[in-house]
Amino acid sequence: DAKTTQPPSMDCAEGRAANLPCNHSTISGNEYVYWYRQIHSQGPQYIIHGLKNNETNEMASLIITEDRKSSTLILPHATLRDTAVYYCIVRVGVDSWGKLQFGAGTQVVVTP
């Protein structure tokens, strides 16, 4: 699977949008971009995934560049509960055999 590059940390003010970048320059055509987050002392939680189109759900929006070499996760109105480590992962296909290979992620701290 392709590797991803994320900044190690970022801060965000409560109520503002948080834009989390991810580089995946070696992504293959059949690899999806997944985002998970892990709040302290909890297991990771699925946020969103996409192939090439932008995606939005109740938690976040995912913007994937046209060349698919990078993406941005957008938390539209960050709250203190969004403080977590955010992982960007590329994964082959959407079947259960596709591994999730977690990197170190981005530590996001939302401040009042």
Partner 1 sequence: EAGVAQSPRYKIIEKRQSVAFWCNPISGHATLYWYQQILGQGPKLLIQFQNNGVVDDSQLPKDRFSAERLKGVDSTLKIQPAKLEDSAVYLCASSLLYARGYEQYFGPGTRLTVT
101 binds partner 1 (CB under 8 A): yes
> Which listed range, 18-26, 64-72, 76-84, 101-109, lies at the site for partner 1 (CB under 8 A)?
101-109
Residue 111 touches partner 1, criterion: CB under 8 A: no
CA distance 23 to 84: 19
Of the residues 44, 63, 74, 92, which one makes contact with partner 1 according to CB under 8 A: 44
| 8 contributes a contact to partner 1 by CB under 8 A | no
| Angle ∠(79,101,30) on CA atoms, nearest 5 | 100
Instruction: Report how far residue 112's alpha carbon sits from residue 43's, in angstroms, rounded to the nearest whole number.
Output: 25
Check the CA dihedral 103-4-23-30 and report its sign. Answer: negative
By CB under 8 A, name the binding residues for partner 1: 32, 34, 41-46, 49, 85, 87, 94-105
